[in-house]
Amino acid sequence: MKLLMLGGTEFVGRAVTDRALRRGWDVTVFHRGTTTAPPGAAVLRGDRTAPDGLAALAHGEWDVVVDTWTGAPAAVRQSARLLAGRARRYVYVSSRSVYAYPAPAGLPENGPLVDSAPDLAGDVPYPEAKRGGELAAVESFEERALLARAGLVIGPHENVGRLPWWLRRIVRGGPVLAPGPRDLAIQYIDARDLAAWVLDAAEAGLSGAYNVVSPSGHATMGQLLDACLRVTGSSAELRWTPPEVILEAGIEPWSQLPIWLPPGEMHAMMHQGNTDKALAAGLRCRPVEDTVRDTWTWLRSIGGVAPLRPDRPAVGLDEAVEAKVLGGCDPAPSS
């Protein structure tokens, strides 16, 4: 199989590239050159936002194109149009954020979507950008387009910083504000499991939209943070705190306490999606302990500080805010 990876040097794209190379695929990486391409991949340089930025893609044929673009859909449209006659299949790594809010628990792939268009340019909100990217891929590749709607993505090389923040916080020790309830279901995908499914699905000729994320409850907040304690060997104390206490303190779920969302509309949308279609198509999700352990191993290998995407705000809770909340509330029982 010949793969053209648009990007491929950072997080999800890197996972796809690494997995394809391990399978013995012929891999070409198209990127700006600001980061290092994986050994074994052929490299084409270009900037999709610049005039003539796709010139390096003027020639060549591939079995599969994988595109993780998160910006304006016009860039996906240009790439897909250019490659439609020279690639068999176009995989666009999208997001479950394309569903219209509020998306109820258990929503399948045919649920209501945000309004968007494939030719949007400039600064486009994330949901509309991803939906527009989907439309751009389908516009040129039609039934040869595969839309992988990922949920929360974590794992080694994460460049948003959610799981790395929790690992660093727990390593720091002391009492930790653990957002409850402890058995609250979370839904996520390890980037490596996403990559494996994308390659399998492309090779099998699948098309259309799939929610590519673990089943809701594949892990809980308690299991995630307990795994952080175990893999780091930290003596930190998890102080499980009711959602209402956290919200009353003005703490922002998801951003200040990464991954966590309290029960309600946002939790239903982000942590309770329907994954039956992807599971039937071969999606396999590794245990949360494996994801946490491998992320910690990677984080230590780079000095403990993960490189973050410049287009995303930093995540995490200020120490003083955490201490104030912990000092003024009665934590929930730990079991």
How do residues 158-193 score in pLDDT, each as one tens digit? 999 999 999 999 999 999 999 999 999 999 999 999
Q: Are strands 237-241 and 185-186 parallel, antiparallel or unpaired?
A: unpaired
Tell me the pTM. 0.96
How do residues 34-48 score in pLDDT, each as one tens digit? 888 899 999 999 999
Angle between helices 73-83 and 126-141 (to 10 degrees): 20
How do residues 62-90 score in pLDDT, each as one tens digit? 999 999 999 999 999 999 999 999 999 99
The span from the CA of 55 to the CA of 59, in Å, is 9
First to last CA, the chain: 50
Under CATH, to which class is 2-150 assigned? alpha beta
Task: Return the bridge partners of 27, or none.
Answer: 3
Residue spans of the domains in the chain: they are 2-150, 160-186+217-272+288-327
- Where residue 93 falls among pLDDT bands split at 50, 70, 90? very high
Task: Return the bridge partners of 239, or none.
Answer: 177
What pLDDT, on a 0 to 100 scale, did the predictor assign at position 334?
43
pLDDT of 269 over the 90 cut: yes
pLDDT of 108 over the 80 cut: yes
